[in-house]
Amino acid sequence: MPPRALPVTADKEPFDIDEAFRRLRQAVADLPKAAMFALRDRGYDSPFEQLVGSLISARTRDETTVAVCERLFAVARTPADMAALPEAELIRLLNGATFPEPKARDILALSHRIVAEHGGAVPDTLEELMAFHGVGPKIAALTMAVGFGMPAVAVDVHVHRITNRWGFVAAPTPERTMVALMATLPRHYWVEINERLVPFGKWICTGERPRCSTCLMLSMCRQVGVTTHR
Ligand code: SF4
């Protein structure tokens, strides 16, 4: 079907965040979960597993991330066990993920530091997590949210794109979107928003030509910046 221009219409319901989450849960119920939530559901929910898994997941497909993490965690699930792995062995275990060599170096380095500087326990602040090489705001927030169960908003490209399209925030970068969401999104949705919007963004509110015509959010979504859709 060729792309079509969006109709000019003001027939939108007020944006209700509770109703939005009800619709999101329904929309993604049968879609594959984002890697970190799929790992959590398989029991890999410790802060260390979430930290390492998030690092592995960067630019790696969700299915691959889950498979690689399951292989790796069968061998090493703690900082001490990970730190004891030879680098070549860790690179081999990361086979399939993108950039296995630098990721192996980052994982080994942070494992050694957690053992040496934090008594073997993953630190539980964004600042301390982001002090590890290779760990940015998204990985730190996922570790905080899924690993520690602490309120943190993990904003990736999907969360950034979709919340701006809704008109719920108006922010030019993922970092600014995270700040805006922490100011406006009720805390009990801080973890769930990433869980729902990653599959929603991969399959429905896609980067190019989102599936607006059949989207459950259409009556509320302002479709900011959407010029064509399916
Ligand atoms: S209506 Fe379109 S832009 Fe809005 S959330 Fe749905 S797919 Fe995305």
Interval 72-85: pLDDT, tens? 999 999 999 999 99
Distance in Å, CA 215 to ligand 1 centroid: 6
Ligand 1, pocket-test mutation among 15, 169, 217, 228, most atoms within 8 A of CB: 217
Distance in Å, CA 36 to ligand 1 centroid: 24
Distance in Å, CA 63 to ligand 1 centroid: 25
Specify the ligand 1 atom closest to the Cα of 222. Answer: 4
Domain 35-147 has CATH 1.10.340.30: yes
Interval 13-31: pLDDT, tens? 999 999 999 999 999 999 9
Q: Ligand 1: does its nearest atom lie under 6 Å from the Cβ of 24?
A: no
Q: Ligand 1: does its nearest atom lie under 6 Å from the Cβ of 217?
A: yes
Specify the ligand 1 atom closest to the Cα of 165. Answer: 3
Spatial separation of the C-alpha atoms in residues 189 and 130, rounded to whole Å: 23
Pick the CATH number of 1-30+153-230 from 1.10.1040.10, 2.40.30.10, 1.10.1670.10, 3.90.420.10: 1.10.1670.10
The domain spans of the chain are 1-30+153-230, 35-147
Q: Ligand 1: does its nearest atom lie under 6 Å from the Cβ of 67?
A: no
Counting every residue written for the chain, the total comes to 230
pTM for the model stands at: 0.82
> What are the angstrom distances between the C-alpha of 179 and each of 126, 165, 172, 173, 176?
13, 17, 11, 10, 5
pLDDT in single tens digits along all 230 residues of the chain? 333 344 445 678 999 999 999 999 999 999 999 899 999 999 999 999 999 999 999 889 999 999 999 999 999 999 999 999 999 999 999 999 999 999 999 999 999 999 999 999 999 999 999 999 999 988 998 899 889 988 889 898 999 999 999 999 999 999 899 999 999 999 999 989 999 999 999 999 999 999 999 999 999 999 999 998 89
Ligand 1, pocket-test mutation among 200, 204, 216, most atoms within 8 A of CB: 204
